[in-house]
């Protein structure tokens, strides 16, 4: 006999197996079967999600997974008759450049469209159109659009995309599938913690594997991370990470993240974070520590210190470089440091140098750390970090400009941009690096268009909301833009909210079951960290 929590998993699994046209007829009769305490533990929600026209059908099923933990699945709208498949040929900053491409397509017998993209990041200081999109074709099936893409590729065009116009960010009827985990710290007496995939920084694993290992009651994917070795250490968090009161990864300075204090989730908040790590020698000589637990020289997401190129400002999905770095490796990285040219020194728990190595790639002590240097950091270590010397490592994290006590913070999950602050929509996409000035298409693809999203928010009474929006599946769920994500969170009762890693990473589990539909064609994507809800009995 199934528990109510497992019954909901079975119901949600059923959702994944049926056509969307039947989905509403399945969900609607089940709304009344929510756990009897669910309404008592839920923050007052808006009557419906602010997505599409107000008359769209919407159904919700809620179930209490544990005292203070409620799961709600929301299904809204239906597949749009106006959504079609088309081929995006190029995105240009000026109408003239877009028109030139369009004319070349006309010469080949095609009928292109030039569409202005008017929406900029809300905090973008520039005005006017973001750019101009050149498109060809209007098809009812993805296969037909893909055939056109192949023709255009053979004709010499590159960088083409097949897209569905329901995901453009304009008016649509949906559909949307939204999962909400609401955690009330006043009632929940379990654990709410960040967890690393594989248990250490290097390497990724699927959320279902992570929750099986951690015995999670429920979980969602966490922050941005490095996927390929060309961008650094695969599995490295591309932003700040604090795990069990220890700094694991440095911040993309100024980017908004989720803070979990060490008291059953009480006082969770959303804030803009920055970090500073300093090494001080016996005689007071200091050197910035550029990063933690990652390959020297590659800074995913940028936003660092010490002369990173081409920028020290945040720049999402971009890898900055620096050939002169001092990196601290802790046991969170595993047994050995990243190998390569340079030197490294081994510190014991008190900061005394117990070994100097003439190359990188050695053992990390279980009760200590390693400082790994390249470029001018090599000379600093040679001068100040010989065996017997003492190096004091000071770590500081600021949250909205105020000191965040690292040791009293259970966890931090990196994210960005901000979506809500003090109950108002505040999308700081330009400030947090989600707009590339040299390539305005980046913001269009990431923030204007609808994508799968994972979101976190805090209500006025201190409840934590963890939300996923499925996307890139026109017949199932179209996803959400940044603006729609902010409106979703506000309608669910959040006053502060942040965007976490999304796209193919968006995943949510109850017990050991995946209950959403990831967008990658290969299925569930391996991720680097997660926000895990555990019953108190789990060690």
Burial class (CB in 10 A: 0-12, 13-18, 19+), 32: exposed
Give the span between the Cα atoms of 329 and 438, in whole angstroms: 34
- DSSP assignment of 408-443: GEEEEEE---EEEETTEE---TTTTT--BTTBTHHH
Q: What is the mean pLDDT of each run of 10 residues along the chain (539 residues)?
A: 44 45 41 34 68 95 96 96 95 98 98 98 97 97 98 97 96 97 93 95 97 96 97 98 96 97 76 98 97 98 95 98 98 97 98 98 97 98 98 98 93 98 98 97 98 98 97 96 98 98 98 96 96 76
Q: Residue 303 has which token pair?
A: 């936003």
Please state the three-class secondary structure of 110-162 as a single string: CCEEEEEECCCCCCCCCCCCCEEEEEEEEECCHHHHHHHHHHHHHCCCCCCEE
Got the DSSP string for 307-342?
S-BS-SSEEEEEEEE-SS-EEEE-GGG-SBPPPBSS
Inter-CA distances, 254 with 43, 197, 303, 379, Å: 30, 25, 8, 30
- Dig out the tokens for 91 from the structure: 């995105």
- Cβ proximity of 297 and 455 under 8 Å: no
How high is the pLDDT of residue 81? 85
What is the rounded (10 degree) CA torsion for 489, 486, 314, 408? -20
Residues contacting residue 100 through CB under 8 Å, at least 6 positions apart: none
Q: Do domains 85-167 and 271-399 have the same CATH topology?
A: no
Token pair for residue 236? 């490295």
The contacts found for 420-423 with CB under 8 angstroms, 24 or more apart, are 420/270, 420/457, 420/486, 420/489, 420/490, 420/494, 420/495, 420/496, 420/497, 421/270, 421/495, 421/496, 422/495, 422/496, 423/460, 423/490, 423/495
At 69, give phi and psi (nearest 5°).
-125, 115
CA 323 to chain centre: 27
Round to whole Å and give the CA distance between 242 and 396.
12
* Residue in 21, 22, 14 with CA at minimum distance from that of residue 73: 14
Token reading at 336: 């050995």
Within a 10 A sphere around the Cβ of 160, how many other Cβ atoms? Answer: 17
Q: Show Cβ contacts of residue 285 under 8 Å, excluding neighbours closer than 6 positions.
A: 380, 383, 384
Which residue's entry shows tokens 């919700």?
Answer: 60
Please give the DSSP secondary-structure letter assigned to residue 43.
Answer: P
Q: Token pair for residue 229?
A: 């070795």
In sequence order, the β-bridge partners of residue 480 are 451
The label of the residue with tokens 């008190």 reads 350
CB-based burial label for 212 (10 Å; 0-12, 13-18, 19+): middle
Distance CA 534, CA 10 (A): 20
Q: Which CATH number fits domain 85-167: 1.10.357.10, 3.30.70.1070, 1.10.3720.10, 1.10.390.10?
A: 3.30.70.1070
Count Cβ neighbours within 10 Å for each residue of 384-403 and write b for 16 or more, e otherwise. bbeeebebebebebbbeeee
Give the helix/strand (H/E) hosting 98. helix 95-107
Complete edge-to-edge strand list for the sheet that includes strand 513-514: 191-196, 529-534, 218-221, 508-510, 513-514
CA-wise closest residue to 232 among 326, 346, 320, 325: 320
Neighbour-count burial of 74, counting CB atoms closer than 10 A to its CB (0-12 exposed, 13-18 middle, 19+ buried): buried
Angle between helices 4-17 and 20-27 (to 10 degrees): 150
CA–CA dist 188, 221 (Å, integer): 20
Under CATH, what is the fold of the domain 271-399?
Jelly Rolls (2.60.120)
CA neighbor of 454 nearest in space, from 507, 517, 490: 507
Nearest residue to 441 (alpha-carbon basis) of 99, 85, 94, 87 = 94
Parallel, antiparallel, or unpaired: how do β-strands 326-329 and 291-292 relate?
Answer: parallel
Question: Which pTM value belongs to this model?
Answer: 0.92
Name residue, tokens 């996927």: 227
Per-position b or e across 227-245, b if 16+ CB within 10 A of its CB: beeebbbbbbbbbbbbbee
Residue ranges of the domains in the chain?
Answer: 85-167, 174-268+407-534, 271-399
């Amino acid at each position: 006999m199934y528990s109510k929590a497992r019954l909901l998993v079975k119901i949600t699994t059923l959702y994944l197996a049926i056509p969307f046209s039947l989905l509403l007829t399945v969900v609607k009769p089940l709304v009344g079967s929510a756990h009897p305490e669910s309404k008592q533990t839920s923050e007052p929600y808006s009557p419906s999600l602010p997505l599409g026209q107000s008359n769209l059908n919407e159904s919700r099923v809620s179930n209490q997974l544990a005292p203070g933990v409620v799961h709600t699945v929301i299904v809204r709208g239906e597949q749009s008759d106006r959504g079609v498949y088309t081929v995006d040929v190029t995105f240009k900053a000026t109408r003239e450049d877009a028109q030139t491409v369009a004319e070349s397509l006309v010469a080949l017998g095609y009928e292109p469209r030039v569409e202005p993209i008017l929406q900029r990041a809300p905090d973008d200081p520039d005005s006017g159109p973001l750019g101009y999109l050149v498109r060809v074709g209007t098809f009812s099936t993805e296969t037909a659009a893909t055939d056109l893409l192949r023709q255009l590729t053979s004709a010499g065009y590159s960088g083409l995309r097949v897209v569905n116009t329901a995901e453009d960010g304009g008016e649509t009827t949906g559909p949307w599938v939204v999962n909400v985990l609401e955690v009330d710290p006043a009632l929940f007496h379990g654990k709410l913690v960040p967890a690393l995939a594989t248990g250490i920084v290097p390497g990724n694993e699927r959320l279902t594997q992570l929750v099986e290992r951690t015995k999670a009651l429920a979980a969602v994917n966490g922050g941005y991370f490095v996927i390929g070795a060309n961008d650094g250490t695969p599995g490295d968090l591309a932003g700040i990470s604090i795990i069990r009161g220890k700094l694991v990864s440095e911040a993309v300075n100024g980017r908004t993240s989720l803070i979990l204090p060490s008291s059953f989730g009480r006082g969770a908040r959303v804030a803009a974070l920055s970090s500073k790590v300093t090494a001080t020698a016996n005689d007071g000589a200091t050197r910035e520590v550029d990063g933690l637990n990652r390959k020297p020289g590659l800074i995913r997401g940028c936003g660092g210190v010490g002369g990173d190129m081409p920028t020290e400002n945040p720049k999402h999905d971009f890898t900055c470089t620096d050939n002169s770095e001092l990196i601290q490796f802790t046991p969170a990285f595993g047994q050995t440091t990243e190998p390569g040219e340079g030197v490294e020194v081994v510190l014991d728990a008190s900061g005394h140098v117990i070994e100097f190595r003439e190359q990188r790639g050695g053992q990390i002590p279980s009760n200590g750390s390693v400082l790994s240097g390249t470029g001018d950091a090599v000379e600093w270590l040679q001068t100040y970090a010989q065996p017997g010397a003492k190096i004091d490592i000071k770590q500081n994290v600021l949250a909205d400009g105020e000191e965040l006590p690292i040791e009293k913070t259970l966890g931090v999950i990196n994210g960005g941009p901000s979506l809500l602050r003090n109950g108002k929509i505040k999308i700081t996409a330009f400030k947090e690096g989600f707009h590339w000035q040299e390539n305005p298409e980046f913001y269009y693809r990431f923030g204007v268009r609808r994508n799968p999203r994972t979101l976190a928010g805090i209500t006025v009474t201190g409840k934590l909301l963890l939300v996923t929006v499925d996307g890139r599946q026109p017949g199932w769920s179209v996803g959400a833009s940044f603006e729609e994500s902010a409106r979703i969170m506000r309608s669910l009762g959040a006053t502060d909210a942040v965007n976490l890693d999304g796209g193919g990473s968006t995943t949510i589990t109850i017990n050991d079951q995946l209950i959403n539909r990831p967008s990658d064609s290969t299925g569930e994507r391996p991720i680097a960290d997660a926000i895990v809800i555990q019953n108190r009995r789990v060690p």
